[in-house]
Amino acid sequence: MSIRENIKLKTIKFISETLPNKNKDDLECIGYGIEIFLCNILKVILLFILSYKLGIFKYFLISFVSMNSLRLLSGGVHAKKSWTCFLLSIFVFFSPIYISRFIIIKLVPKIISFIISFILIILYAPADLEEKPYVNPKLRKILKIGSSITSILLMILSMVIKQDFYSNIIFLSIIINSLLITPFVYRLFKRRFRNYEHYNMGSSKSFSG
Q: How far apart are CA 62 and CA 163, in angstroms?
A: 13
Burial track 67-89 (b if 16+ CB lie within 10 A, e otherwise): bebbbebbbbbbeeeeeebbebb
Q: What pLDDT, on the 0 to 100 scale, is given for residue 81? A: 80
Q: What pLDDT, on the 0 to 100 scale, is given for residue 140? A: 92
Q: What pLDDT, on the 0 to 100 scale, is given for residue 209? A: 41
Q: Give mean pLDDT in consecutive 10-residue pieces for the chain, a chain of 209 residues.
A: 67 78 71 70 92 97 96 89 86 96 91 98 92 85 96 97 95 97 93 79 43
Sign of CA dihedral 6, 76, 82, 171: negative
Residue 173: closest CA among 85, 84, 59: 59
Q: What pLDDT, on the 0 to 100 scale, is given for residue 74? A: 95
Q: What pLDDT, on the 0 to 100 scale, is given for residue 11? A: 78
Q: What pLDDT, on the 0 to 100 scale, is given for residue 131? A: 75
In the chain, domain spans: 1-53, 56-208
Q: What pLDDT, on the 0 to 100 scale, is given for residue 133? A: 81
Q: What pLDDT, on the 0 to 100 scale, is given for residue 198? A: 76
Q: What pLDDT, on the 0 to 100 scale, is given for residue 1? A: 53
Q: How far apart are CA 79 and CA 60, in angstroms?
A: 21
Q: What pLDDT, on the 0 to 100 scale, is given for residue 195? A: 82
